């Protein structure tokens, strides 16, 4: 270990992000568009809505037929036709005439408003026969119950922007424009490798001195949540050739990022580091953070590689602080601010002066949010992440925080609804 000054977390993040750019565009059909990130601006070819239409089931009329003095006496008009939705009306209203019209149907010539069926004497639910005349008890003004063309958006105006996530309503908007296909950023492909002779696949018997491998399951889930397609390379024993073979598999698959866990530290069996140094390059940064001070970052055969720590808590924090933002940038997303809130500490907390990310449970109370450390905070304790709903961020330079301090907490992706107001 060198004794170079510690690298601030934000500097490390910026160095990493400068290696990543949004991935190229590819077409996607509407069935697979939800959750993808637009790689094009979207412009409507026509007005939305495309034509004046009725917002009610009722009768299209002309406001000029409205009586000048509103004495409450019903107005009788002649019904000359029927306009279901999906039909371009061929009829044209003269004064004193009406046409039955359905919600969404195009307004006929000569009409400028719609009387809802409730404001007429027509027994809608009982009869489908078109009446000869109707009595209107409340005559609308011009424009009432009409959705004019272009009310929502005018033709040739940008409606969605490149970089926008296609939420379900945004996919529906693409459908409204008639687009069956749209350009989105290609999904980042992320390979995940765990190494260690002590690691056993879940479902197998556990020999003495061994533990079940868990990091690749966590990291592939987090990568998928961040918007990537994970490729699980499985577990490699601590042998250079076995590690090299799996890394080459990732290169053959054309991945955009490789995430390893363990094997990049100072241990004599840390062969991941050796293999990467032989066929790529690896920097071991001393980052001013806890956990995760040693951060391995480099490339293998030209593909960016991040070496996360073997301890699950350190790997988790390393992922959300560094790998997640890199994946989001490749996915074409604008920089995502951390979901920060302010909370009161429920007890004293000590730190060691590094920027610290501690696992807390945040509760909502009458005075706002409060935060308490969960379980014990050892970096091997996966349960502390499972039971946490936020990370408490202790800034660099702070060594102790008394109970009651106002602190920054970072809400974890899965736990929004658990925190409450």
Within residues 281-320, the interface with a copy of itself by CB under 8 A covers 310-312, 316
Task: Quote the crossing angle between the two packed helices 240-252 and 271-279, to the nearest 10°.
Answer: 50
Nearer to a copy of itself, 201 or 301 (CB): 201
Q: Distances in Å between the alpha carbon of 363 and those of 343, 386, 390, 409, 415? A: 9, 16, 10, 11, 11
Of residues 174 through 213, those in contact with a copy of itself by CB under 8 A are 174-181, 196-204, 206-213
5 lies in the binding site for a copy of itself (CB under 8 A)? no
What is the DSSP annotation of 273-315?
HHHHHHHEEEEEEEBSEES--EEEEEEETTEEEEEE-SSHHHH
> Does residue 366 belong to the site contacting a copy of itself (CB under 8 A)?
no
Strand pairing category for 113-116 and 58-61:
antiparallel
Residue 326 binds a copy of itself, judged by CB under 8 A: no
Q: How far is the CB of 302 from a copy of itself (least distance, A)?
A: 26
Residue whose pair of structure tokens reads 């500097």 in the numeric block: 11
Q: How many residues touch a copy of itself (CB under 8 A)?
A: 111
Q: Which residues of 72-90 are buried (b: 16+ CB within 10 A; e: fewer)?
A: eeebebebbbebeeeeebe
Query: x/- string (CB under 8 A) for a copy of itself, residues 381-400?
Result: xxx-xx--------------
Is residue 125 close enough to count as binding a copy of itself by CB under 8 A? yes
410 part of the interface to a copy of itself, by CB under 8 A:
no
Paired residues of 25 in beta bridges: 185
The Cα–Cα gap between 194 and 236 comes to 6
Minimum distance between the CB of residue 305 and a copy of itself, rounded to whole angstroms? Answer: 20
| CB closer to a copy of itself out of 97 and 328 | 328
Residues 254-273 that bind a copy of itself (CB under 8 A): 262, 265-269
**Residue where the block lists tokens 């601006």:** 41
> Considering the rule CB under 8 A, would residue 219 count as an interface residue with a copy of itself?
yes
253 binds a copy of itself (CB under 8 A): no
**Least gap, CB of 167 to a copy of itself (angstroms):** 4
Is 363 in contact with 369 (CB distance < 8 Å)? yes
Is position 27 an interface residue for a copy of itself (rule: CB under 8 A)?
A: no
Rounded Cα–Cα distance for residues 80 and 89 (Å): 12
Q: State which residue, 15 or 46, has the beta carbon closest to a copy of itself.
A: 46
With H, G, I as helix, E, B as strand and everything else as coil, classify residue 130. coil
For a copy of itself, which residue of 12, 173, 306, 369 counts as binding (CB under 8 A)?
173
Of the candidates 375, 367, 366, 370, the one whose C-alpha atom is nearest the C-alpha of residue 347 is 370
Query: What's the rounded Cα separation, in Å, for the pair 185 and 35?
Result: 11
Among 13, 17, 25, 30, binds a copy of itself (CB under 8 A): 30
Among 40, 137, 162, 225, indicate the residue that binds a copy of itself (CB under 8 A).
225
Cβ proximity of 326 and 386 under 8 Å: no
Q: Which stretch binds a copy of itself (CB under 8 A): 70-78, 122-130, 134-142, 247-255?
A: 122-130
Q: Which of 342, 365, 404, 406 binds a copy of itself (CB under 8 A)?
A: 342
User: By CB under 8 A, is residue 231 in contact with a copy of itself?
Assistant: no
Distances (CA, A) of 103 to 55, 60, 63, 371, 421: 5, 11, 19, 52, 39
Among 24, 158, 221, 254, interactor with a copy of itself by CB under 8 A: 221
What's the closest the beta carbon of residue 330 comes to a copy of itself, in angstroms? 17
Judged by CB under 8 A, does residue 26 bind a copy of itself?
no
What's the number of CA atoms in the CB half-sphere (13 Å) around residue 62? 14
Looking at the chain, how many residues does it have?
421
Exactly one of 17, 165, 251, 373 binds a copy of itself (CB under 8 A); which one? 165
Residues 46-75 that bind a copy of itself (CB under 8 A): 46, 48-51, 55, 57
69 vs 88, beta carbon nearer a copy of itself = 88
């Amino acid at each position: 270990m060198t004794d170079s000054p510690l690298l601030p977390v934000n500097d490390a993040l910026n160095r990493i992000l400068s290696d990543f750019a949004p991935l190229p565009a590819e077409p996607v059909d509407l069935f697979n568009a939800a959750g993808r990130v637009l790689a094009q601006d979207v412009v409507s070819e026509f007005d939305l809505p495309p034509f004046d239409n009725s917002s009610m089931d009722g009768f299209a009329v002309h406001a000029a037929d409205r009586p000048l003095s509103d004495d409450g006496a019903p107005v009788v008009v002649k019904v000359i036709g029927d306009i279901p939705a999906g039909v371009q009306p061929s009829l044209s209203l003269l004064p004193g005439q009406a046409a039955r019209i359905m919600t969404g149907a195009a307004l006929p010539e000569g009409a400028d408003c719609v009387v809802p069926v409730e404001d007429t004497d027509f027994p809608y639910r009982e009869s489908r026969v078109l009446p000869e005349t109707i009595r209107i008890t409340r005559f609308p003004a011009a424009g009432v119950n009409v959705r004019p063309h272009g009310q929502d958006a005018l033709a040739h105006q940008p409606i969605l922007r490149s970089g926008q996530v296609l939420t379900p309503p945004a996919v529906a908007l693409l459908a409204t424009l008639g687009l069956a296909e749209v350009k989105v950023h290609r999904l980042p492909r992320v390979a995940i490798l765990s190494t260690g002779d002590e690691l056993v696949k879940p479902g197998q018997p556990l020999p003495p001195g061994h533990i079940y491998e868990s990091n690749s399951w966590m990291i592939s889930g987090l990568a998928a949540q961040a918007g990537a397609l994970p490729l699980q390379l499985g577990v490699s024993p601590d042998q250079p050739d076995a590690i090299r073979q799996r890394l080459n598999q990732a290169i053959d698959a054309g991945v955009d990022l490789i995430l390893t866990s363990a094997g990049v530290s100072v241990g004599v069996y840390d062969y991941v580091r050796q293999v990467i140094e032989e066929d790529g390059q690896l920097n071991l940064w001393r980052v001013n953070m806890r956990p995760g001070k040693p951060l391995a970052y480099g490339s293998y055969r030209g593909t960016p590689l991040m070496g996360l720590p073997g301890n699950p808590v350190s790997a988790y924090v390393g992922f959300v602080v560094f790998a997640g933002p890199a994946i989001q940038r490749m996915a074409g997303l604008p920089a995502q601010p951390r979901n920060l809130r302010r909370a009161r500490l429920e007890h004293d907390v000590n730190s060691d002066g590094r920027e610290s990310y501690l696992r807390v449970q945040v509760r909502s109370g009458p005075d706002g949010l409060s935060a308490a450390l969960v379980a014990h905070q050892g970096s091997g304790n996966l349960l502390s992440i499972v039971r946490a709903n936020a990370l408490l961020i202790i800034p660099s330079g702070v060594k102790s925080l008394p109970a009651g301090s106002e602190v920054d907490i970072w809400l974890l992706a899965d736990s929004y609804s658990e925190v409450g107001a």
